[in-house]
Amino acid sequence: MVCKIKTLEVDDKMSDDEDFEKMYPKLNRELREGRTVRLEIRRDMGTESDAKETARKIVKHFTPAITDFIRRCDNIEQAMEIVDYMLKRQEISETEARRIKTQLKENGLRSFGSKKEADHYLKYGIDR
């Protein structure tokens, strides 16, 4: 379907009100009846630091699980260090540490999910 739209060029002049009325009948009627409304449009995109501050407020009480840390690792060795560290701090049990290490050895690092890059929670929220 082809739609032709007449546009006014800067050099085009409307000879009189009749031309305007023919081209824009509804707008002409609104102007004559005084039904116009003045709109003030503001656009505030904020800054990147505003977005990060908002995200910090949202995730203020979010405590990442060990899998969240593992998903940020680049290799299995880093993930093993995370497991040992969490075990040492008694944030995971020995049973859980063994299970995670077995999964790392048998299924690989990405068996815990895709890699979480910087600003992951800003982009996707805390549900992913």
Q: Is residue 18 part of a domain?
A: no
In angstroms, the CA 25 to CA 36 distance is: 14
In angstroms, the CA 86 to CA 93 distance is: 9
Q: Is residue 104 part of a domain?
A: yes
Q: Is residue 74 part of a domain?
A: yes
Q: Is residue 93 part of a domain?
A: yes
Q: Is residue 110 part of a domain?
A: yes
Q: What is the pLDDT of residues 40-98, one digit of tens each?
A: 777 666 666 676 776 666 656 667 889 988 988 999 999 999 999 999 999 999 999 99
In angstroms, the CA 77 to CA 83 distance is: 10
pTM of the model: 0.50
Total domains in the chain come to 1
Type of residue at 10: V
Domain enclosing residue 98, as ranges: 48-124
Q: Is residue 99 part of a domain?
A: yes
If 0-12 CB within 10 Å is exposed, 13-18 middle and 19+ buried, where does residue 76 land? middle
